[in-house]
A and B are shown apart, each in its own frame.
Chain A
Amino acid sequence: MERKRNSKIRKYFIFYLIFFVFFSSFMFFLARHETSLDRQRMLALISSHPELEAEILSAWEKLDSPLPLRESSSDGMDKTSQILDRVEKKYGYSSNFLESAKELWMFWGIGLCAGTLLIAALWYQSRREEEALQNSLQDLYECLEQFREGWFTDIPDYENNPKTDTGEWMHIWESLRELGIYFESLRQALKKEESHTKSLITDISHQLKTPLASLKMCHELASASPLSQDEQREFQEQEAREIEKLEILLKELVNLSRLETNMIQLDSVSASLKDTISGAVSQVYMKAKNKDISIQVEMAQDLTITHDAKWTGEAFVNILDNSIKYSPGHTAVTVRVTALVCNVLIEIEDEGIGIRKEDFTKIYQRFYRGALAKNMSEEGAGIGLYLARMILERQGGTISAKRRTGKGTVFKVTLPHHSTPPVSPIHSRS
């Protein structure tokens, strides 16, 4: 830094020296030019006044001598001086070379002073600039230190700081702020994922506890007490039912945890929506038939959209399963598909028990079951809609439910015609 400053000063000095040499030679040539003008004037004077030739010439010779004229004390010179004065007065020209030489010296002096002052000012200015730069760099360094120590969001506000109120520094600080925020959000995301996984494990083990407890109870009762054959069979059937429930729950939980922990990447490809929907309908068909619920699909034409057929089908199964589960027998479930501009709208209507108003925003929460659903004898873990929403939203879709005017609920699902791959978040792009 010190060397750099010295070289800068040297640069200034050389610049000044060159400037000074040029300036003085300019002044010198100016003086020469002035003298030659004097000579011409003198000649003109002599030619128009030949009678004064001798006087003028002697005056000129004296003038040309390096000695100052006016200050000399000899009579002859005084005389010449007088003549000079007279001539000057008469013709209004003043061209005492030494007089102008004096001015020249003065010019030199002033130039020297001004130059020195200028250099000092420049040097001072450059020092100040360098100090400011040094400070800014120091701040930058401290900020990077902070980053290394894990403080990403303590970046001072440089907007109103005159020291760095230049576009570039502002830009640098703004970028640093954004970088810090990005780091912080990454850290938060990591933290969140960690706590999310923890709560997932807690939730899952909690969900498994209940059916396992009832299975255990069943088993203990069956083996502990002497039972009749009928009773034994009843317990065995009960155990089988509990095992089946547990199996279904486990399957759901496996899906859930795999999706949640990003173990499954949705593979969106162009595929027929009709196939996906009919696949889902056929999966719940038996359940619907058992309750005498008819499923109608209204789809004017087949649509090819970008989606993951398997998992989207899973989402539809979950919604349909809910509709069937919470509908009384002898009703209808309708699936209606409409093409919108950017999206496809899939409406799933039922004539079931409906959802309470205060539950609408909660039904997509993991393991949440609405008050009306809990009152039903139907089993449910509160996973279906949560899973459906996750699958649909990952593909750029949405799901929302609405109470139908008559009875029941309508689920409205949208899926984009062409789902675009997620764009990396803003901060990593800028």
Chain B
Amino acid sequence: MKTDSSKILVLEDLVKYYGSGESLVRAVDHTSLEIERGKFTAIVGRSGSGKSTLLHLIGGLDRPDEGKVWIEGKDIFSLKDDRLAEFRRKKIGFIFQDFNLIPSLNVWENIVLPLGLDNRKPKKQDIKEVISRIGLTDKEETMPNALSGGQKQRTAIARALVTRPAIILADEPTGNLDSQTELEVMSLMKSCVTDFGQTLVMITHDEMIAQMADRVIEVADGKVVNC
């Protein structure tokens, strides 16, 4: 299949089932989707609708039973595991609900970690720019346990941004934050994504967040029902 590269992400008939027989769960059930570059797409749906599984498949964290995922015209599951891991580090930024910061590294170290993993030299100026953008300039040396929830998530956002990935995947990034911090983090994410020209795919069940998206995709029972 020839893919249109303006579509940064193309899902082709993705299938992922868990269990078997009576307990078969159709987490992702023949889902096809195209996502445009530079857009903020929100995936909404009830818990258990298969949103997270879908996001894991998009991010190459899990292999599908059937179907393909194309990122920038590349069929990511045609890659061997180590190549896939490398591809993931370079092309995909992840932001999770529980931040996933390394507790023994300070803010700066956490942010540059993904660059170090790929032996890429961090450009100090670029990183400073991102850090000042998310308002953590005075917290560079701080350890994660001394940060508030919002600060932790902002660190995670910076970490996802510095590698300049093609696509940022976020799984309920504001799920653990109060409503004001949520708005703050969201507006940061949105404007960063716009400013740095990146593509954001976010799982959320918050209708306010969905409003900020350029496009809302609703998932139910493993299928895209509305987009």
Contacts and interface: CB of A to CB of B under 8 A. Distances in A.
Contacts of A154: 2
Interface in A178-193: 180-181, 184-185, 188
B105 to A, nearest CB: 22
A92 interface: no
A198 B207 CA distance: 31
A360 interface: yes
B195 A343 contact: no
Given A422-B194, A426-B196, A426-B197, A185 B37 contact: yes
Contacts of B191: 393, 396-398, 416
Interface string A161-179: 0000000000000000100
A345 B183 contact: yes
A136 interface: no
Contacts of B79: 159
B216 A361 contact: yes
A226 interface: no
A6 to B, nearest CB: 40
Interface string B1-37: 0111110000000000000000000000000000001
A218 B145 CA distance: 71
A386 interface: no
A377 interface: no
B150 A396 contact: no
Contact of B183 (A185, A414, A426): A414
B212 A425 contact: no
Contact of A400 (B164, B188, B212): B212
A185 B196 CA distance: 15
B115 interface: no
Contacts of B37: 181, 185, 188
A364 B38 contact: no
Contacts of A159: 79, 83
A184 B211 contact: no
Interface string A255-287: 000000000000000000000000000000000
A412 B183 contact: yes
Interface stretch (A99-107, A122-130, A334-342): A334-342
Contacts of B6: 153, 184-185, 188
A424 B38 CA distance: 12
B104 interface: no
Given A153-B4, A340-B180, A422-B194, A398 B186 contact: yes
A423 interface: yes
B103 interface: no
Contacts, number: 106
A289 interface: no
Nearest to B79: A159
Interface in A336-388: 338, 340-343, 345, 357, 360-361, 364
Interface in B117-142: 129, 133-135
Contacts of A423: 129, 195-197
Contact of A398 (B134, B164, B187): B187
A400 B195 contact: no
A402 B187 contact: no
A405 interface: no
Contacts of B207: 357, 360-361, 402
B195 A177 contact: no
A157 B5 CA distance: 13
A72 to B, nearest CB: 73
Contacts of A326: none
A364 B5 CA distance: 28
A184 B197 CA distance: 14
B3 to A, nearest CB: 8
B53 interface: no
B135 A341 contact: yes
B210 interface: yes
Identify which of B2, B5, B190, B212 gathers the most chain A CB atoms within 10 Å of its CB: B5
A393 B190 CA distance: 9
A430 interface: yes
Contact of A414 (B133, B134, B135, B184): B184
Nearest to B126: A429
B187 A343 contact: yes
Nearest to A342: B135
A374 B4 CA distance: 39
Interface in B147-199: 150, 164, 180-181, 183-184, 186-188, 190-191, 194-198
B208 A338 contact: no
Given A159-B83, A180-B5, A184-B6, A343 B211 contact: no
Given A361-B216, A396-B195, A343 B183 contact: yes
A181 B196 contact: no
A340 B183 contact: yes
A360 B197 contact: no
Contacts of A427: 197
18 contacts: A177-B73, A181-B5, A184-B6, A185-B38, A340-B180, A341-B135, A342-B135, A361-B207, A393-B191, A396-B191, A396-B194, A397-B191, A398-B183, A398-B190, A399-B212, A412-B183, A423-B197, A430-B164
Given A185-B38, A393-B194, 8 more contacts: A340-B183, A340-B184, A342-B184, A343-B183, A396-B187, A401-B208, A423-B129, A425-B196
Interface of B: 2-6, 37-38, 72-74, 79, 83, 129, 133-135, 150, 164, 180-181, 183-184, 186-188, 190-191, 194-198, 207-213, 216
Closest 5 CB pairs of A and B: A425-B197, A153-B5, A396-B191, A400-B208, A414-B187
Interface of A: 152-154, 157, 159, 177, 180-181, 184-185, 188, 338, 340-343, 345, 357, 360-361, 364, 393, 396-402, 412, 414, 416, 420, 422-427, 429-430
